[in-house]
Amino acid sequence: MQPGAKGLKVRVFYHDKCFDGACSAALFSRVYRECVRREAQFEYIGLVHRAGALFDESQFTGDENAIVDFKYSASPKITWWFDHHQSAFLTAADQEHFRRDASGKKFFDPEYKSCTKFIADTSARVFGFDPKPVAEMVHWADVIDGALYPDAPTAVEITQPAMKLTMVLETNQDDAFPKKLIPLLAERPLAEIIEQPFVAERIPALLERHEKSIEIMRKHSECVDGTVYFDVTGYDLEGYSKFIPYYLHPESTYSVGLSKSSFRTKVSIGSNPWTKTRPEDMVNLAHICERYGGGGHARVGAISFPPDRADEARKAGKEVVDELRAAMRAVASKRGTS
């Protein structure tokens, strides 16, 4: 591919409040500059899973529009797409639309732990991109999105630059912040990025908030039949560490939690990366989430409800808890008779 005209505008839509989402946007931009058009200008628009429509087509105003680390859109205005979520397609029609696409610019593989690694590998194979200069970012996106930490304390005790950036991104409420951060991610070392004043000034307060969130979760969580349940909708805990339930309840296999923000009430459903439950005995959490209009991966997912429908979210959360606890009792019973 040849470099194109100066000033071409590329709008990159990415999974907001997510380290992998931000890294995917940064990496896609670098791939585009190196392999497609050198002089392109990029704009970054965060997307979040919410009840109702996920896309506003009036925002697809770039000369090219890309979606990374987020669900598929069949809009003819979307020219690039990379995703790795099992629940990538809102409808069967969307999935068929993707299968028929012949552009060579839309890619999907749910076997990848992170979309960043998927973009790096795919771009190297298809476009000749050299991923070595971004190896640090790709590594940490894979660790963080794939929960590839050696144990729960490592995941919860925030020490590495990438983990501090994750904390900042997941709690961010300032639309301007990721637009300043994303251009740096694929260009500078992570340790240098967290020293940038606009990043560094946020970290001390967030570390204190993180410690408080552990104590709140300790008070409001219980583990029964290998499944943790917690409801923290009464607290400002959007963006808490998803590993806290397993840090507090290392015997658990699953967690189901409710939290609330200005735009949704969220049911988070996850599995303990360090569980002793055998893979063949695990429940596919994406399938559960899809029944309620949510989605995710086999081992982690979420369901979003409007902020004023917390009762519906709570009902769904308790139904999922009951289902997972029953599944764990069935596993225990099978082991007892085998």
Residue-wise pLDDT tens digits, 20-70: 999 999 999 999 999 999 999 999 999 987 665 678 899 999 999 999 999
Position 76 scores a pLDDT of: 96
For 158, residues 6+ apart whose C-beta sits below 8 A from its C-beta are: 164, 167, 207, 210, 241
Domain with CATH 3.10.310.30 in the chain: 216-337
Question: What is the C-alpha separation between 26 and 42, in angstroms, rounded?
Answer: 10
CATH number for the segment(s) 9-200: 3.90.1640
User: What is the total residue count of the chain?
Assistant: 338
Judge whether 268 and 302 are in contact, CB under 8 Å: yes
Position 7 scores a pLDDT of: 75
Residues of the chain with pLDDT under 70: 1-6, 50-53, 337-338
Phi, psi of 278 (to 5 degrees): -70, 145
Position 6 scores a pLDDT of: 60
Position 337 scores a pLDDT of: 54
Judge whether 240 and 155 are in contact, CB under 8 Å: no
Angle (CA) 129-135-139 rounded to 5° is 125
Q: Give the global pTM.
A: 0.83
* Host H or E run for residue 216: helix 203-220
C-alpha pair distances (Å), 327 with each of 227, 255, 278, 321, 331: 10, 13, 13, 10, 6
The amino acid present at 321, given as its one-letter code, is V
Position 51 scores a pLDDT of: 61
Position 146 scores a pLDDT of: 92
Residue range 216-337 in CATH 3.90.170.10: no
Quote the strand ranges of the chain, DSSP E.
Answer: 9-15, 41-47, 64-68, 80-83, 106-108, 221-224, 227-231, 254-260, 265-271, 295-296, 300-305
C-alpha pair distances (Å), 72 with each of 84, 91, 188: 11, 9, 30
Angle (CA) 256-46-41 rounded to 5° is 155
Position 335 scores a pLDDT of: 77
State the first-to-last Cα distance of the chain, in angstroms, to the nearest integer: 59
Q: Which of 163, 244, 269, 260 is nearest to 206 (CA)?
A: 163
Question: What is the C-alpha separation between 202 and 241, in angstroms, rounded?
Answer: 16
